[in-house]
Structure 1
Amino acid sequence: MVVFFILLILFLLLFVRKDNATYTILVLLTFFTFFMQFLVGRTFEYKSYKTIFNTCFICLNIGLIIKPWSYANILIVENINVNFFAYFKKILYRFLFLNLFLNLLILILVLIYLPDIAAFKAESAYLNLYDQIPYFANVFRYAYTTQNAGYLAIPIFYYHLGNLEKKEAFYAFLFSSSSLLSGFAFYSRAQIFTYTLIFIIYFFLIKKTLPNFIQFKVLKFIRYSSVCIVVLFLSITYIRFSAMDYYGDRIPENSIVKDPIVYSLFDYASQSYSNGLYQLERFTPDKSLGGEQFFRDIYQILNFFKLVNWDVKESQELIDKAYDYDGGAFNGYTAPLVFNFGYILTFLISFSYFLATKIKLKNRAVIPLKSMFFLILLLFIPTVSIFYTGYAILLFPLILLGLCRFTFSIKSLFR
């Protein structure tokens, strides 16, 4: 796997440009994530030609979701449909205002009732609040399902900033932070990390569209705010794993990192490749999930309105059984796709992603603002690929964006 991965990195490095920091960050993120595992003693078991095939398949899919960002060279973001932008922003802000309120409420309740992060994450103690607090279950599920809608406000923030509309930019940033707040409300380090990284990578994607003095101010803001977020991130890590005395026993003897807290960070960031390969080695057709992991949020919504008969416990049991009860670990980008859709559809999904991103970026110095909403969602996929497949958690933002475009078209017809 090391040999094939080095070949992948060398191939991706061929397209690195000094003026395309977005692509460079994605390549480096993939590089460091892979090699961190050797600091925590992760090993591979090479068994057969299937191992070689799976290794190549993982590298191929990772390459397909990173390579199209090498075409990025955005100089101007233009708002060619002012009416739709105003309509979409109005609808989006209403959702995000509600999300801010609910995530803050959940955070307060969790801090009061479940200050033990380890119990919240490892023991799913938050389920006890379903019975203790009226309607908490519905609020928690809604907030969890819609937590990524805040990413759609990031392009709005940078657009207003580029036009020196500071008040509008502030509101957009405030509403986008609902996704960051959800990370703290759910004790989700992955969500905190992802929001911070997406915010930074997107800045480099559209950096050339901003005046020079705005670029300087944003970089300064990113620098200071990142320090604060890192401190909070490390605090959550310390509180959680310092309470887990047994965690130190998990550290392999050949691990270079011996401190349990530091080990948890490196282990956290380096699981995907080895876990993904390990799961693909054990994959058989009878473990196919038929998209169960990817459509859970949709099933949950339809079940709430009594449109389908679906049980969350049965769904989780099906998923756990497929992964041999190790589905809670980070399995990377490729393995979950294979478990849900098989090898052929996985390749077609990744190749479709490659084409869609390439079409939106290649030879396009001027990009419509409406395309940026799709681009930030597309950017989500390679960013979170070091943990998992991001398509499922983008369903609500995509549905919201699609519904807004549909209702706006209907509304325009009757004017």
Structure 2
Amino acid sequence: MVVFFILLFLFLMLFVRKDNTTYTILILLTFVTFFTQFLVGRDFEYKSYKTIFNVCFICINIFLIIKPWSYANILRVENLNIGFFVYFKKILYKVLFLNLFLNLLILILVLIYLPDIAAFKAESAYLNLYDQIPYFANIFRYAFTTQNAGYLAIPIFYYHLGNLEKKEAFYAFLFSSSSLLSGFAFYSRAQIFTYTLIFIIYFFLIKKTLPNFIQVKVSKLIKYSSVCIVVLFLFITYIRFSAMDYYGDRIPQNSIIKDPIIYSLFDYASQSYSNGLYQLERFTADKSLGGEQFFRDIYQILNFFGIVNWDVKESQELIDKAYDYDGGAFNGYTTPLVFNFGYILTFFISFFYFFTTKIKLKNKAVISLKSMLFLILLLFIPTVSIFYTGYALLFFPLLLLGLCRFAYLIKSLFR
């Protein structure tokens, strides 16, 4: 596993350019995530030809989602369709305003009724609020399904910033933070981490499109904001795991890190490769989920409107059973794809991602704002690959983009 991963790392490093920090960060994320597992004493018991195949397969898929970002060299962002941009932004901001309000409401209710983070996460105690508070279930499900829509406002923030439109940039930043607020509302460290990281990585992706003095100001904003977010992230970690006395018993004897709270951070960051490989070794045809794990949000929406008959508890039981009741752990990018679609389709999904991202970036010094909206969603995939597969999290942002595009075309036809 180590040998193949080092080869992957060295091969990716061949394409590093000094002026492409985005690509370098994505490689370093993968590198750090892989090697932190040795600090927490992770062992792997399987050693067979199947293991070699699975390790190779994981490395190939990781390569396919990181390599296309080596082509990034964006010098200018153009708004080629101002009419659609104004129309889309108007709808997006209404959605994100609602999300800000609902996430703030959920955060307040959770802090009042469920101050115990461990109970919220480990025991799913938030389900009790479904009965205690009218309509809380619908609000919670809606907020959870739409939580990633805020990422669409990040390209708009940088676009306005590049044009020195400070007021418009502020509104875009405020509405984009609805995705960050959802992380605190759901006690989701992954969401907090992901938003912060994507905001930073995207800055380096379009840094050359910004005036020099704006680059300096944004760098300072990122620096100070990151410190605040890291402090809050560590606070959530401390509160959650200091209340879990039994967590210290989980620390392996060969772990270099012995403190339960510090161990939880490194364990959190290092799960995906060892867990993913372990699950792939145990994968059989009867564990195939047929996309159940990926289409849960879609099924939930269709079920809400009575279009399909789908039960969330049955779905969760199916998923838990496939992963031997360890589906809550991070299994990385490749493994969930295999469990849902099989090896062959997993490869084609990753290859399609590679091909799509490469087309968007290669030889594109000047890029449209519409393409940037898609690029931030594509950037989501390698960023969260250190935890899980991110495709399922993008359904709502893509649906929102698609519906707005369709509605705008219809509106244009009848003018």
- Shorter-normalised TM range: over 0.9
Aligned Cα root-mean-square deviation (Å): 0.4
- Measured against aligned partners, the alpha-carbon deviations of 1:199-256 in whole angstroms (never above 9, x if no partner) come to 0000000000000000000000000000000000000000000000000000000000
Could you say what secondary structure the match of 1:147 adopts?
A: coil
Give yes or no for the alignment of 1:383 onto 2:383.
Answer: yes
User: Are 1:10 and 2:10 an aligned pair?
Assistant: yes
In the alignment, the residues of structure 2 paired with residue 265 and residue 398 of structure 1 have an alpha-carbon distance, to the nearest angstrom, of: 32
Once the two structures are superposed, what CA deviation does each residue of 1:254-295 show, in whole Å capped at 9, x if it has no partner?
A: 000010000000000000000000000000001000000100
Query: Counterpart amino acid of 1:360?
Result: K
Aligned to 1:259: 259
Distance 1:44 1:363 in 2: 42
Q: 2-side partners of 1:98 and 1:329: how far apart?
A: 31
* 1:54-111 Cα shifts (integer Å, max 9, x gaps): 0000000000000000000000000000000000000000000000000000000000
Residue 402 of structure 1 corresponds to which residue in structure 2?
Answer: 402
1:284 maps to a residue whose letter is T
Count of equivalent residues: 415
TM-score normalised to structure 2 length: 1.00
CA distance in 2, matches of 1:46, 1:388: 22
Output the amino acid matched with 2:401: L
| Structure-2 separation of matches of 1:228 and 1:338 | 37
* 1:13 partner letter: M
Distance in 2 (alpha carbons) for counterparts of 1:258 and 1:12:
33
**CA offset digits 1:3-36 (Å, max 9, x no partner):** 0000000000001111000000000000000000
Residues of 2 paired with 1:404 and 1:201: CA distance?
A: 26
Structure 2 residue runs of 5 or longer lacking an equivalent are: none
> What is the aligned partner in structure 2 of residue 62 from structure 1?
62
Instruction: Tell me, in whole angstroms, the C-alpha distance in 1 between the residues paired with 2:311 and 2:334.
Output: 26
1:28 is aligned to 28
Give the whole-Å Cα distance in 1 for the aligned partners of 2:4 and 2:47. 16
1:45 Cα deviation from its structure 2 partner: 2.0
Distance in structure 2 (CA, Å) of the matches to 1:47 and 1:325: 23
For 1:135 and 1:74, locate their aligned partners in 2 and report how far apart those are by CA, in whole Å.
45
Aligned to 2:216: 216
Q: Could you tell me how far apart the structure 2 residues matched to 1:313 and 1:365 are?
A: 48
Structure 1 residue runs of 4 or more that deviate by more than 2 Å after TM superposition: none
1:44 offset after TM fit, Å? 1.5
Question: 1:194 is matched by which residue type in structure 2?
Answer: T
Separation of aligned partners in 1, 2:298 and 2:150: 19
1:242 alignment counterpart: 242
Q: Is the 8 A contact 2:293 2:319 kept in 1?
A: yes
Partner of 2:201: 201
In structure 2, how many angstroms separate the alpha carbons of the residues matched to 1:87 and 1:154? 17
Deviation at 1:46, TM superposition (A): 3.2
Q: Distance in 1 between matches of 2:109 and 2:46?
A: 48
What are the Cα deviations for residues 295-350 of structure 1, in whole angstroms up to 9, with x where unaligned?
Answer: 00000000000000000000000000000000000000000000000000000000
- Rounded to whole Å, the distance in 1 between the matches of 2:13 and 2:321 is 39
Structure 2 distance, partners of 1:13, 1:263, is: 29
User: Partners in 2 of 1:224 and 1:234 — Cα distance?
Assistant: 16
* Paired amino acid for 2:263: Y
Whole-angstrom CA distance in 2 between matches of 1:142 and 1:280: 32
Distance in 2 between the 1:48 and 1:407 partners?
54
- Work out whether residues 183 and 189 of structure 2, in 8 Å CA contact, stay in contact via their aligned partners in 1: yes
Letter of the structure 2 residue corresponding to residue 149 of structure 1? A
Letter in 2 for 1:251: I
Query: Quick one: distance in 2 between partners of 1:290 and 1:139?
Result: 28
The aligned residue for residue 373 of structure 1 is 373
Paired residues of 2:272 and 2:386 also in contact (CA < 8 A): yes
Give the counterpart letter for 1:177 in structure 2. S
CA distance in 2, matches of 1:86, 1:389: 32
AA of the residue aligned to 2:171: Y
CA contact (8 A) 2:289 2:319 kept: yes
Match of 2:361 in 1: 361
Give unpaired runs (5+ residues) of structure 1: none
Distance in 2 between residues matched to 1:414 and 1:267, nearest whole Å: 56
Q: CA deviation at 1:47?
A: 2.6
Matched residue of 2:22: which SS? helix
User: Given that residues 46 and 281 in structure 2 are in contact (C-alpha distance below 8 angstroms), is that contact kept between their aligned partners in structure 1?
Assistant: no
Deviation at residue 43 of structure 1 after TM alignment: 1.1
Superposed CA offset, 1:109-150 (max 9, x none): 000000000000000000000000000000000000000000
Task: For 2:340 and 2:326, locate their aligned partners in 1 and report how far apart those are by CA, in whole Å.
Answer: 15
Please give the alpha-carbon distance, in whole angstroms, between the structure 1 residues aligned to 2:33 and 2:318: 29
CA distance in 1 between counterparts of 2:375 and 2:97 reads 23
In structure 1, give the amino acid aligned to 2:195: Y
Aligned equivalent of 1:44:
44
Secondary structure at 1:35's aligned position in 2? helix
Q: Indicate the SS of the match to 2:321.
A: helix
Amino acid in the other structure paired with 2:299 = Y
Equivalent residue for 2:142? Answer: 142
Separation in 1, partners of 2:390, 2:411? 32
For the residue of structure 1 that corresponds to 2:388, the secondary structure is coil
